[in-house]
Amino acid sequence: MQDFTNKIAVVTGGGTGMGRALVTQLAAAGCHVATCDLAEDNLALTRAAAAEAGPDVRVTAHRADVADEEALVRFRDEVLEQHDTDHIHLLFNNAGIGGGGSMFTATRESWERTFNVCWGGVYLGARVFLPLLAAADEGHIVNTSSVNGFWASLGPDRPHTAYSAAKFAVKGFTEALITDLRINAPHVKASVVMPGHIGTSIVENSMRFGGMNLADMTDEDRRLAEEMAAVFEASAPVTADQAAEVILQGVRDERWRILIGDDAHALDEAVRANPEGAYDGLSLGELTN
């Protein structure tokens, strides 16, 4: 799919970060876009940015929780109606949050919320929208995993179980889809995206939408988390816009495996070179140097 002009794309988690960047860049490329998020204020900003980037395309914004199948079915039906279509060409299962780091200290609610958004959102998104991709003359599904989809760690001092488990599931599912699509819908391609540190609002969104359990946090914990969110986004070596550019070029190139960032490439090489040593109490810097 070299040209996105007059194609129809669905992007989950389009309110901020890579989702907003994908929506805006697709609109600029002449693609009609439907995007969902839980934050209607952020969706409004995305829609405004996309309208400026692509004034001649249709961009619709929808409130939906990707962990809720009924909400995604409702989103799909709105897409069919508002875009006057019976198919889509592109599906970006992008929504994600963090949280549920430890099986010992995190609440079950926090753990399952993170897993259900990061994995369930991809699985349910595929269940709901794959028939619409198959109904098009060409299609592409893009599932966002992470470097934590092949290295289940943030380093030796921070458990990272829920997010890592979800992202491993996304990676394996997408790889398995390649054969499933080849047999049942050969005109539809699949890609898994594995970003390193990207400048997004994932920490802020995790606090806002349930990955981090604010009820169990003190005022000081919240303050530190808010500071961490700002530092995480500001210190990233790759911006959300740059990440979206890499993803869309990966779609054009029909690459099934899309790594984003020098850190992602370095970590991938390090884990492949020494898988037995990947969890020997090493930080990212120590593992890749």
**Active-site amino acid positions:** 163
Query: What stretches of the chain adopt beta strand conformation (E)?
Result: 8-12, 32-37, 59-63, 90-93, 139-144, 188-195, 198-199, 238-239, 257-260
Query: What stretches of 124-173 adopt beta strand conformation (E)?
Result: 139-144
Smallest CA-to-CA distance from 124 within 93, 148, 153, 163 is with 93
Torsion, Cα 104 106 108 114, to 10 degrees, reads -130
Q: Would you tell me how many other CB atoms lie within 10 Å of the CB of residue 84?
A: 8
Largest CA distance in the chain: 54
Rounded to an integer, what distance in angstroms lies between the CA atom of residue 64 and that of residue 225? 25
- The helix/strand/coil state of 277 is helix
Q: In degrees rounded to 5, what are phi and psi of residue 57? A: -115, 165
Rounded to an integer, what distance in angstroms lies between the CA atom of residue 81 and that of residue 78? 5
